[in-house]
Amino acid sequence: MNEPAPARHILTILAVNDLDRSRAFYDAAFGWAIAVEVPVYVEYMLPGGMLFGLYQREGFARNTGIAPATLPAGSITGTEIYLRVEDLPGAVARLRQAGARLLAPAAPRDWGDEAAYFADPEGNVLVVARPISA
């Protein structure tokens, strides 16, 4: 069996069409502290030390050499951001108020969480969840 690679996940970046709209959404939905802010990129410091970035699509393409695919309106990406929250009803309310599109309401899931699924303005799937009390 292979040994695991000495790597740890520290940052997730989403390519976005409209950085201002995406930033306004994530500010309203979560209120995370800003770690980095430049004209084409904003990076948030999440509780626990993880980082989460939003990168204007053209800037993202300069780094990768290929522009990410754009989605038809109403579609979702194959990306899911799964967030544990203490106050699930409060998180659901903030996401709805920020303009998230509800995909699946809060419900018990087979893996032991109660989770609600939303789409952000770019079609990325956001999940807010909490463990089901035993």
Is residue 38 included in any domain, yes or no? yes
> Which of 61, 47, 50, 51 shows the shortest CA–CA distance to 16?
61
Q: pLDDT tens digit string along 94-116?
A: 999 999 999 999 999 999 999 99
Is residue 3 included in any domain, yes or no? no
Neighbours of 87 (CB within 10 A): 11
In this prediction, residue 70 carries a pLDDT of 87
Range list of H helices, the chain: 19-30, 57-64, 88-98
Q: pLDDT tens digit string along 49-83?
A: 999 999 999 999 999 999 888 888 889 999 999 99
Q: What is the CATH number of the domain that holds 125?
A: 3.10.180.10
More confident site: 29 or 71:
29
Domain housing 25: 11-59+79-131
Is residue 5 included in any domain, yes or no? no
Q: Are 60 and 66 in contact (CB under 8 A)?
A: no
Q: Are 43 and 51 in contact (CB under 8 A)?
A: yes
In this prediction, residue 4 carries a pLDDT of 80
